[in-house]
Amino acid sequence: MGNYLKYDSEYPEENIYESECPVIYALSIVGQKWKLPIMWYLFKNECTRYNDLKRQVKGITNMMLTKSLKELEEHGLIYRKQYEVIPPKVEYSLTERGKALLPTLDALYYWGKDQIEIDKLKNKNYDI
Amino acid sequence: MGNYLKYDSEYPEENIYESECPVIYALSIVGQKWKLPIMWYLFKNECTRYNDLKRQVKGITNMMLTKSLKELEEHGLIYRKQYEVIPPKVEYSLTERGKALLPTLDALYYWGKDQIEIDKLKNKNYDI
DNA sequence: CTGCATCCACATCGATACTG
DNA sequence: CAGTATCGATGTGGATGCAG
């Protein structure tokens, strides 16, 4: 306990974006719009094909799905299994490291849920 | 345990960005570039003035600091205390709700730290 | 079926200068 | 001291069409 956002940098004067804060780094990996939804569906369905994901992650385009999957794979959060058949068949699944992120998101989930309630009570509607 | 990224929507067919996923919502509040660093410094120094923050959060501009502080205050994560003196004096501090987020970030911290190690071992340098 | 390429809209962020 | 205002750069996400 009690470490929180401690930065490892030995140079306290530098911009933290030039050091390597693990929290910032984590968010740079999964903080974009579609990464978490994709991981969420892969958590529910251990093994999912490209078009299944596209159907389940409502509103995502081919471009963003492809891009997100590729980046998640490069960071070792998901596993891509390609079958050499025609027509092509590709299955995606979470790696252990990908699954390891979910409990943390669980905590974020409950915090966010409280926030939503609070903001509703305050009648804050952000419709410009 | 075990709820993870469960969405509350009663309409499973809709785009999740039209429902209210608490995780997405949480990231919309603290996911931007400077919010977490600011909160981190407010956690270390219970009460901090505007220009102190500007000095400590290396690289931030007046505009981004002002904007971030205002949004954090609107969401009830920080408290703004203004003294009616000349020259102006304003102190910022974390609210209980703001502090409640830190343990979650702690978990993200350790996950991100492991990720950094893994990426280093893979010799992945993203310098185009 | 599983993507990639192109072009474009929009939001975020930064640099600089200025104010009560 | 504690901000605002303006403009411009950059990046992220979207629409559409095409390819292996």
Residues B109-122 pLDDT 10s: 999 999 888 888 87
Query: Distance between CA B120 and CA B124 in Å, rounded?
Result: 6
Q: What is the pLDDT of residue B30?
A: 93
DSSP annotation of A49 reads E
**pLDDT band per the 50, 70, 90 thresholds, residue A7:** low
- Spanning CA of A33 to C1' of D14, the rounded length in angstroms is 12
Q: Which bases along strand D come within 7 Å of a protein CB atom?
A: 1-6, 12-17, 20
Q: What mean pLDDT value characterizes chain A?
A: 85
Q: Is B43's CB within 8 Å of A4's CB?
A: yes
Q: Is A1's CB within 8 Å of B106's CB?
A: yes
CA-based nearest distance A91→chain B, Å: 21
Residue B91 has pLDDT above 90, yes or no: yes
Burial of A61-97, coded b for 16+ CB within 10 Å and e otherwise, reads eeebbeebbeebeebbbbbeeeeeeeeeeeebbbeee
Residue B89 has pLDDT above 50, yes or no: yes
Q: β-strand A48-49 against A89-94: which pairing, if any?
A: antiparallel
Q: What is the CA radius of gyration of chain A?
A: 18
**pLDDT band per the 50, 70, 90 thresholds, residue B10:** very low
Residues B39-61 pLDDT 10s: 999 998 989 999 999 999 999 99
Q: Is B112's CB within 8 Å of A3's CB?
A: no
Among A124-128, B12-16, B44-48, the least confident range: A124-128
Three-state SS for A94? Answer: strand
Query: Can you tell me the mean pLDDT for A3-21?
Result: 61
Query: Can you tell me the mean pLDDT for A111-128?
Result: 73
pTM beyond 0.75: yes
Q: What mean pLDDT value characterizes chain B?
A: 85
Query: Can you tell me the mean pLDDT for B93-103?
Result: 94
Residues of A in contact with B105 (CB under 8 A): 4-5, 23
